[in-house]
Structure 1
Amino acid sequence: MASGEGPVQRLFGISKRLLASLLATGETRLRLAVVELEEERARLVTLLLLLGLSLVMLLLGLGMLALLVVVLFWETHRLAAIIISAAVLLGGGIVIALLSLRLARRHTLLKDTLAQLALDRQLIEDHRESPRH
């Protein structure tokens, strides 16, 4: 043999390079998942803070508006003003709650990571099916 390494050593070397490549690919995908999780966490914290602040301001504004309507109609139709104000506030709350549930059901967590893994799987399957030269 002209070369100092036999078939077993070459196979072992190829296996080591393949394993190193697989580990590097896995590490890249894991880093992508971590970055996406951090972005999602930051977005969620910001969203919760803004939602809390807007909820407080909306509650105060709606309370003042309902009070204004009741005061305006105090002498003539105070019960009707209270009932209509309550119905409008409750109806709006139900509509907003339904919209929030619809928004919450969207799947955005690790969307890019899952897409990249699907692409990797497709590339491997395409490579496996392609004829060898």
Structure 2
Amino acid sequence: MSTSHGPAQRLFVAGKRLLGSLLAIGETRLRLAVLELEEERARLMGMLLLAGLSLILLLLGLGVLTTLVIVAFWETHRLTAIGVSALVLLGSGGLLSLRVLQLARRRTLLTGTLSHLASDRELVETSRESR
């Protein structure tokens, strides 16, 4: 009789298959994480480019508008025009920075990978309970 079909050999083969399955699942999840990181990087680069260009245009527009307001009130209320312009600009900047902080706190990185890992964990837990 051959000993290749004994209980120890079957346990070894089952363990080997389990390890192979775990490695395949891990590789799939890692590929998903890498793909999400690449997509997030491309999205962030596009956002940074657009944010930089819009910031430059907004600063130029605000500078011209502030100059227009100050020149228009130069003879009568020049200090008031300068003060109101400064307050409007500082207030807008403060509100925008609060909005940026709010957006920065939102988690979007690797959400797909985390949800797949959570579903994998639930599947493993339900298979343990069904035994």
TM-score by length of 2: 0.95
What residue in structure 1 maps to residue 58 of structure 2? 58
Give CA-to-partner distance per residue, 1:41-78, whole Å, 9 cap, x none.
11111111111110000000000000000011111111
CA distance in 1, matches of 2:128, 2:37: 32
Using the alignment, how far apart are the partners of 1:55 and 1:2 within structure 2? 77
Q: Which residue of 1 aligns with 2:125?
A: 125
Identity of aligned residues (%): 66
TM-score normalised to the size of structure 1? 0.94
Unaligned runs of 5+ in 1: none
1: CA distance, partners of 2:10 / 2:54: 66
Secondary structure of 1:123's match?
helix
SS in structure 1 of the partner of residue 108 of structure 2? coil
The aligned counterpart of 1:26 is 26
Q: What do residues 23-54 of structure 1 show as CA deviations (whole Å, max 9, x unaligned)?
A: 00000000000001101111111111111110
Aligned to 1:79: 79
The residue number in structure 1 matching 2:100 is 100
2-structure distance, mates of 1:127, 1:87:
63
Gaps spanning 5+ residues in structure 2: where?
Answer: none
User: Matches of 1:103 and 1:122 in 2, distance apart?
Assistant: 30
Letter in 2 for 1:106: R
Cα distance, 1:3 vs structure 2: 8.2
Match runs of 1:32-51 below 5 Å: 32-51=32-51
Query: Is the helix fraction higher in 1 or 2?
Result: 2
How far apart are the structure 2 equivalents of 1:2 and 1:49? Answer: 69
Matched, 1:68 2:65: no
Q: CA RMSD in A?
A: 1.3
4+ residue stretches of structure 1 with deviation over 3 A?
A: 1-4
